[in-house]
Amino acid sequence: MLIHPKIDPVIFKIGPFEARWYGLMYVISFFCVLFLTRYQLKERNLTHLYPFLENLLFYSFLGLILGARLGFCFFYYPDYFLTHPWEIIAIWKGGMSFHGGLIGALVVGYGYVKSKGQSFLWWADLIAVCAPIGLFWGRIGNFINGEIYGKPTSLPWGMVFPEGGSLPRHPVQLYEGLVTGLLLFLFLWSLRKKEWAPGTKFAIFLISYGVLRFLFEFLREPAQSFDLIFGWMTMGQVLCLGMIAFGFLLLYLVRMRTFQKIF
């Protein structure tokens, strides 16, 4: 049995300002995706697109933060936040949703790309093969905070978390960081030079991450404030099913090639 190291989530504090490890993980994720996407542009001799990429990632990152917070509030705890709307902006208290962040980033990114007359799916492919490395750092941030821990386990690497009682639990944050972060990144990165129709790699990311996350949800301690759907399915799994379905729909649309102008 292991004990969570109880890392102080605050790196340093100056007056009312606090620099937190979780926020730092978001910053590291942003620059990792930026570096890896720039690398792909360099491989294709498209370095003149660096400024466009930087603007796209910046605006998408803002959409991600907004979407992640709104997703957490209204996907998981709608009753509470509808009656305490002033708490929605309290990001420093924690609470971000991957699926909400993905939706926010896609909406803002799509708007920016299309406003410049570019192909959204082409850019989505470029960024999608890098995205899992950002997920890796996000899960490290969850581990530091001691949140999103798993169900009780008797396995020797079970860990006692500060907020999880006295029972050792699955360190799901580390599982997901390894599998949906590093391993999925290595898989998608190996596909980056494939000359497939735009949108194919993005669809593969949606499907593969959706399936893996769906499976890991079985090990998580459910955190939502309402009953499990069908008595066993979490809201995270419902959102993953939507993500998987959208991925397969996108693959179909890509094959049809009649929707390229829209995307």
Q: Per-residue confidence at 261, pLDDT binned at 50, 70, 90?
A: low
Q: What's the CA gap between 263 and 247, in Å, rounded?
A: 14
Band (228; pLDDT cuts 50, 70, 90) = low
pLDDT averaged over every residue in the chain: 90
Domain membership flag for residue 117: yes
Q: How many domains does the chain have?
A: 1
Confidence grade of residue 93 (pLDDT, cut at 50, 70, 90): low
Q: Is 262 inside a domain boundary?
A: no
What pLDDT band is residue 226 in, cutting at 50, 70 and 90?
A: low
Residue 16 has pLDDT above 90, yes or no: no
Q: Is residue 16 part of a domain?
A: yes
97-133 pLDDT, tens per residue?
889 999 999 999 999 999 999 999 999 999 999 999 9
Q: How far apart are CA 240 and CA 176, in angstroms?
A: 14
Q: Is residue 263 part of a domain?
A: no
**Can you say which residues are annotated as belonging to the binding site?**
139
pLDDT digits (tens, 9 = 90+) for 135-179: 999 999 999 999 889 999 999 999 999 888 899 999 999 999 999
pLDDT for 9 beyond 90? no
Identify whether 70 is part of a domain: yes
Residue 261 within any structural domain of the chain? no
251: in domain: yes
CA nearest to 39, candidates 148, 111, 127 = 127
Domain that holds residue 93: 2-256
- pTM exceeds 0.85: yes
In sequence order, the 6+-apart residues with CB closer than 8 A to the CB of 90 are none
In angstroms, the CA 101 to CA 119 distance is 21
Residue 143 and residue 129: Cα distance in Å, rounded?
A: 24
